[in-house]
Copies of this chain bind each other. A is one copy, B any other.
Amino acid sequence: MDFNKYYEDRQKLVNTFLEKRLEKKGISRVDEAMAYSLLAGGKRIRPIILMATADALGVSGYNFLPVACGLEMIHTYSLIHDDLPCMDDDEYRRGRLTNHKVFGEALALLAGDALLTLAFEVMLEQKNVPAEVLVETVREVAMCAGNFGMVGGQVIDLDSEGRQISEEELRKLHAGKTGALFIAAVRSGARLSGAASDELLALTKFADLLGLAFQITDDILDVEGDAAQMGKAAHSDEKKHKSTYVTLYTLEGAKALAQKTVDEALGCLEMFGENAEALREITKMMCGRKS
């Protein structure tokens, strides 16, 4: 398959959907702050994973843009709130000023709130699936995004600052903070496509391992990136008190764990044969494999 074309086509679809949806205006200028962050580009990896999961089940992922784009809104709101002064206090994101640097803290806070809320509105606009399935799908997305998943992971992250944590805690932190939305993406795509229970199980296992492999890779790239760019030593210093898979396992150990985890993830996709090609390519792309 021409994976680059596959990915770019879906990226464009997601961008177009988001732009169109934001044309429906609210009653205030929070719309502007929402659009600033939501339409800032980005890989759109979560919606594309959702669509690729549907494709793996032989159902066109194009059908599920509303739920897919809801996930992107949830991801974006979490970035806006993460960047706020009381959280990471970041000035730049993707090479642009962060939301609160442009609109002020109050409006950035509310833009995040509005995006999270709009995510649910948009997901519930999904057509072409039985309403029972949609209810169950969106309910599960909420579970993955809240205190049981993403927000819970963010709080564990807050509480782990400045101290070494155990592998178990680190796994729980990332399973929540980043893993839960990947699980939401894969399980939503599967549910909306009418996956059988064994398929749902295999795909859930896949999503969990994908999230883990992605995080280990991220920790590795952080170290290697810092080593390559001596000018960014401050960045490395900032992180020296933070537990990562590299601090837990050494660089070589983390690389071996990443490879093993990616292999296991890919193993979960075997039952889907050729249809899972896009999911395989996404996995390799996210975990820094050339082939």
Interface-centre pick from A29, A107, A116, A151 (highest chain B CB count, 10 A) = A151
A153 sits at the interface (CB 8 A): yes
Contact present for B84 and A147 (CB under 8 Å): no
CA distance A121 to B109 in the complex (A): 22
A81 sits at the interface (CB 8 A): yes
A134 sits at the interface (CB 8 A): yes
A205 sits at the interface (CB 8 A): no
CA distance A134 to B130 in the complex (A): 12
Contact present for A117 and B134 (CB under 8 Å): no
Copies in the complex: 2
When A110-B155, A114-B151, A158-B107 are in contact, do A172 and B87 touch as well, CB less than 8 Å? Answer: no
A125 sits at the interface (CB 8 A): yes
CA distance A112 to B120 in the complex (A): 16
Contact present for A109 and B109 (CB under 8 Å): yes
Contact pick for A176, options B27, B135, B145, B147, CB 8 Å: B27
Interface-centre pick from A77, A106, A134 (highest chain B CB count, 10 A) = A106
A86 sits at the interface (CB 8 A): yes
Contact pick for A27, options B29, B139, B152, CB 8 Å: B152
How far in angstroms is the closest Cβ of chain B from A30?
A: 4
Contact present for A118 and B132 (CB under 8 Å): no
Contact present for A135 and B146 (CB under 8 Å): no
A266 sits at the interface (CB 8 A): no
Contact present for B155 and A142 (CB under 8 Å): no
Contact present for B28 and A114 (CB under 8 Å): no
Contact pick for A130, options B81, B131, B151, CB 8 Å: B131
Contact present for B146 and A114 (CB under 8 Å): yes
**Could you list some 13 contacts between A and B, CB below 8 A?**
A26-B146, A26-B149, A28-B152, A28-B153, A30-B152, A31-B147, A81-B110, A84-B86, A113-B113, A114-B151, A114-B152, A116-B117, A124-B135
